[in-house]
């Protein structure tokens, strides 16, 4: 065999190898190609996901709207005035405590009150009402936030 024949044989072999490689790639790419049916299935799945996402967005929006309404209702609630001590007009003795004894050896204590039991509202009742209203407002706000968070979860 002459060098020209060897050159032609190698060239023919390389051409056949390249044609075989191209044919193999076309065959394997054809097997991995997406069919029209698979593309339609993918589009339907994307549409379903979009619908679910829109429902979740609507639930989250409704939950946030309800949360804002709850906070407005909680913050608009007036401070209630409580009667911390109620009057006792039927109480027979007007004294809260008897007067102290005049001496340790003196057995009978004189009659008379140290503090008068007028039955009036205890002191600082406005401060107590404000503290109680702040406590209620704080925890109702916390509960409203938790309710809104729970309402945002998707429902089955």
- Give 14-62 pLDDT, tens digit per residue: 999 999 999 999 888 877 777 788 889 999 999 999 999 999 899 889 9
HSE of 91, CA atoms in CB hemisphere, 13 A: 12
- pLDDT band at residue 113, thresholds of 50, 70 and 90? very low
Domains held by the chain: number: 2
25 and 49 in a single domain? The answer is no
Do 47 and 16 fall into the same domain? Answer: no
The reply to whether 2 and 72 lie within a common domain is: no
Q: Are residues 5 and 63 in the same domain?
A: no
Q: Provide the domain limits for residue 63.
A: 36-78+120-156
Helices (H) and strands (E) in the chain, counts: 3, 0
Residue 97 lies in a domain: no
How many CA atoms are closer than 13 Å to the CA of 106, on its beta-carbon side? 8
Domain assignment present for residue 26? The answer is yes
pLDDT digits (tens, 9 = 90+) for 98-111: 566 666 555 555 55
Nearest partner of 85 among 35, 42, 128, judged by Cα: 128
pTM score: 0.43
Measured CA to CA, the distance from residue 134 to residue 150 in angstroms comes to: 24
Q: Is 63 domain-assigned? A: yes
């Amino acid at each position: 065999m002459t060098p020209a024949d060897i050159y032609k044989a190698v060239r023919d072999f390389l051409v056949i190898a390249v044609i075989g490689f191209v044919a193999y790639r076309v065959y394997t790419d054809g097997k991995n190609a997406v069919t029209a049916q698979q593309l339609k299935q993918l589009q339907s799945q994307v549409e379903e996901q979009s619908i679910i996402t829109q429902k979740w967005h609507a639930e989250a929006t409704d939950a946030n709207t309800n949360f804002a309404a709850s906070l407005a209702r909680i913050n608009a609630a007036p401070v209630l005035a409580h009667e911390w001590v109620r009057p006792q007009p039927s109480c027979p003795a007007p004294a809260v405590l008897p007067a102290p004894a005049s001496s340790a050896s003196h057995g009978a204590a004189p009659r008379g009150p140290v503090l008068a039991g007028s039955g009036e509202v205890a002191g600082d009742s406005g401060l107590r009402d404000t503290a109680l209203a702040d406590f209620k407002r704080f925890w109702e706000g916390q509960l409203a936030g938790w309710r809104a968070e729970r309402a945002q979860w998707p429902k089955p």
